[in-house]
Structures are given as C-alpha cells and as structure tokens.
C-alpha cells in the first residue's frame, strides 16, 4: 500500500547487504502502481550516527532491534525471519524471555548489528550515505554525538560536502 499512495517510505531494520534488493522490490511496486519512483522518497533504513564510540552506538542498535524482535508483537520478528534471520530472531526471543533486555540484545550477532548500522567518523558516515544513495535511498537521518553546536555543524558540513 505504501508504494500505491505514500509520498515516502521509512523502512527499518534492513541490513546493508539487502538494501539494493529491498529497494528494487519497493520501486518495482511503485512502478506497478502506475507511479514514478522519483515521486517517492525513501529514508535510509537506519540513522547515520557520527560518533567516536562505535561500541556504544552498536549496543544501542542491538538493544533497539532486540526490543522490536522480542517485545513488539510478531511483525518485526517475522520481518527478520523473512530476511533470512529466523535463527537470530528466535535466539533473541528466547534470550529476552530468559534473561531480559540485556540478554536479548546480547543474543544478536555483532555482524548482524553492524549490518543494521551506519556509524563512525564523519568520513565513514559520508561513505555510508554514498552507499545508501547508490542503493536507492533519497533521504538520510543523521545524528551527531557532539554537544557543541558549532562542532556539530562543522561535522555535518564535512558529511554533506
């Protein structure tokens, strides 16, 4: 339905390795609805986070994904399953049930968490945005872990070029 009526789509939890496949399928649905894909914006499937504490960012991503898989009904659990991560989704649900949120987050393999994330230095984030544009994303949500407004603006300028 999004492809038929919306002016944009904000996907969530698509690993980088599946960006192109997922976006191609979406844009095919837009065309099948008789619409021009240029009329529909798609925001990247995860925030771009500029931070020198990558482990902290990844922990946040793992916690968020685990919460969605284990505690948000079946939709996101099934979403991960459809993408080929049934074993991981089952492990998260079991771990959460047995040990709570921290256990659920810890059950997600780091390589999957990294696939769900775009973070690092301004240069790494700019490169990730370029990869997203190449895959078909037209909008990007960027978060800068810097309290000083001038430094934050300087970082954003470095990313956008």
Which pLDDT band, with edges at 50, 70 and 90, does 109 fall under?
very high
Instruction: Please tell me the predicted confidence (pLDDT) of residue 144.
Output: 93
pTM over 0.85: yes
Q: Residue 160: pLDDT above 90? A: no
What are the DSSP calls for 50-90, one per residue? Answer: E-S-HHHHHHHHHHHHHHHHHHS-SHHHHHHHHTT-HHHHH
């Amino acid at each position: 339905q999004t492809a038929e009526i919306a002016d944009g789509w904000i996907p969530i939890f698509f690993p980088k390795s599946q960006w192109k496949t997922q976006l191609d399928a979406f844009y095919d649905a837009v065309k099948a609805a008789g619409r021009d894909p240029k009329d529909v914006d798609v925001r990247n499937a995860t925030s771009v986070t500029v931070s020198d504490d990558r482990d902290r960012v990844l922990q946040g991503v793992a916690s968020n994904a685990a919460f969605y898989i284990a505690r948000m009904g079946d939709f996101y659990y099934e979403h991960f399953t459809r993408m080929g991560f049934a074993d991981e989704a089952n492990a998260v649900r079991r771990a959460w049930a047995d040990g709570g949120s921290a256990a659920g987050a810890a059950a997600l393999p780091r390589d999957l968490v990294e696939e769900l994330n775009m973070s690092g230095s301004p240069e790494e984030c700019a490169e990730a945005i370029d990869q997203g544009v190449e895959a078909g994303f037209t909008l990007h949500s960027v978060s800068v872990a810097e309290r000083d407004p001038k430094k934050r603006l300087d970082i954003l300028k470095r990313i956008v070029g």
